[in-house]
Amino acid sequence: MEHIEDVYLGRWVNPDTGETGPRAPVDKILISESIDGAEADLVRSVGIGDSTAMVADANTWDAAGSRIAGNLRSAGMTVSEILLEGKPHATVHAADELAVRLQDFSSVIAVGSGTVNDLTKYVTAKDGRPYCVFGTAASMDGYASTTASMGLPSGLKISLPAHAPKGVFLDLGVISAAPSRMSAAGFGDCLCNSVARIDWWMSHKLLGRRFWMEPYLISEPDAGMLETHAAGLKQGDVTAVGYLVRALVLSGLGVAFTKVSNHGSMGEHQISHYIDCFAGQRHAGTLHGEQVGVATLTMGRIQAWFLEQERPPEIRPTRVDGEDMARRMGPEIAAQCEAEYRKKALDEDGAARLNDRLQEIWPQLRADCSKLVDPVDTMIAKLNEVGGATSGRDLGLPSDFYREAVRHAHEMRNRFSFADLACDAGLLDDFAAREV
């Protein structure tokens, strides 16, 4: 924990610059094999009052919430249970409903992972009420983030401003007992780092977008440890899960340096977002990280093709087809996405400038990116080792829809990836057609 404490407390020293990092907006992070019996001291240490609400769903209540509430009450605290019904989703509408249920509480405890944490942080951010989270799965890297992934009334899912929890408490005994697919999803969310970094570096060199090394530097002390122990994730091995949790926490802390999530979210995450937003009845209930793992392989194949070419692609002006977007996305979401897409779209002059820039930097860009590649076959082997999906078909998606996601996901967000490069070069249809 010492390294993670150094990072979030602002004591970490950048080896390249000698500067200390920023203080993360979370007061305390604890990763422990067990926190059973220590809960009251932990929540009090981060400002949670002795009369508080606890938000959980049925699964997270059974996994940890019941025990935590019992221990808090034994320590003299008053805990009101706020159980989310059914299979909750993190939407603005659900947050409005939760806000009503939490209006009389000055502090809140969340017990869960993605959905429960996002809903709680979004609601409490409205008036700055303190909250803390007890994690129940190693399925994503957003425990300590200052944003919440929320579904809008239109159906579009985006990251909205929120605030960080005061405390993040991760009991490896609880997390190791979660279904193995949760850890496989977290592994998929980590696996994308190489392709996201290549996308980000390309956009930095080609378009001048800001790039930070810090998110990668803070993870270097753990380099290779997750992969070394990955086989244990299927069995819920505590050591393996511990390294996964560390990787996810460090990834989340990277945002404290950059204020953006580009280091772990580029073209591959857009494919996963497209699936979540537009699969509808075709969605088989797969987790975001499972989808990211598959999309990472897709982006890896696209990037590998480009990096094999001695000459750069010929870029054309971006064709933004609002009518087709409306047909696929619905008019309201399409209008939102089109506005984002046009921010990075190229006109004739922009395409000409990009072609000149590509001619200038292509040999060095290829060399830089090639050093960062995690070969697709190697990534497939890693996903197989942890029991992760490796194709759209494995996700339960019809091939035609997964190909649609690959072809059009880059339209959703103003982040320039190799999918944008492929689209503007007239190649993305062919790449998408090869996916299943």
Q: In order along the chain (436 residues), what is the average pLDDT of each group of 10 residues? A: 95 96 96 98 97 98 98 98 95 97 97 96 96 97 91 91 96 97 97 97 97 96 94 96 97 92 96 96 96 98 98 97 97 96 98 98 98 98 97 98 98 97 98 98
Torsion region of 37: left, alpha or beta (phi above 0 gives left; psi -120 to 50 gives alpha): left
Cα–Cα distance, 412 to 333 (Å, whole number): 9
Cα–Cα distance, 329 to 1 (Å, whole number): 44
Q: What per-residue confidence (pLDDT) applies to 367? A: 98
- Give yes or no for a contact between 221 and 7, defined as CB atoms under 8 angstroms apart: no
Tokens 């000055």 belong to: 106
Q: pTM, whole model, 2 decimals?
A: 0.96
Q: What per-residue confidence (pLDDT) applies to 103? A: 96
Token readout for 321 is 């087809």
Question: Strands across the sheet with 131-135, in order?
Answer: 28-32, 167-171, 131-135, 108-111, 51-57, 78-84
Q: What per-residue confidence (pLDDT) applies to 1? A: 83
109: helix, strand or coil: strand
Token readout for 422 is 């492929």
Cα–Cα distance, 157 to 418 (Å, whole number): 22
- Which domains are delineated in the chain? 2-178 (3.40.50.1970), 182-218+261-433 (1.20.1090.10)
